[in-house]
Amino acid sequence: MEENNLTFDTGYIKSILKEIVNKAHTHPDKKRVHTKSDKKSWQIACPYCGDSKRNPNKYRGNLNKILFYKCFNDGCDKQTHFTSMCKDFGITIDGEVKKKIYDYLDRYTNSVETLQDELM
C-alpha cells in the first residue's frame, strides 16, 4: 500500500517542538508552536538564533512535512533535521516514533526525484 501521508503522530511532533521552544526561549510569545494550514508543518521562533530580538511574534523557523527544519532569519539560516534538533536540545524521542519517522523518510525519499527540491 502506498502511503504518502505522515504515519506518525503529528500531535507528538508538535509537543516536542513545544518542548524545544520552552527550553530555548523566555518570552511567552516565542514559546508558541504554529501549525500551518496543511496540518503537517510548523513554524516556531528559531531556537538556534533566538529569532527576532525586537518582535516576539516572528516565527522564522520552519519544520516541513518531511521534518526538515530551516530558519529564514538572516544570518542564522540553520538547516537541520527534526531528529538532530531533538538531540541539540537534549530531548529524547520515543524509539517507536523515531522508527516511524525514518520509515516514512525512506519511503518519501524513494518517491521523489530529487530530495533537495522537496526540502523547502
Binding positions for Zn ion, rule: CB under 5 A: 46, 48-49, 71, 73, 76, 78
Smallest gap from residue 41 Cβ to Zn ion (A): 17
Comparing C-alpha atoms, which of 45, 56, 55, 57 is closest to residue 20? 45
Instruction: Give every CB contact of residue 17 below 8 A, 6+ residues apart in sequence.
Output: 33, 42, 44, 63
Residues 6+ apart with CB under 8 A from 100: 7, 8
Cβ at position 71, least distance to Zn ion in Å = 3
Q: Which residue number, 8 or 59, has a Cβ lying nearer to Zn ion? A: 59
- Residue 49 CB, nearest approach to Zn ion (Å): 3
Residue nearer to Zn ion on the CB measure, 48 or 104:
48
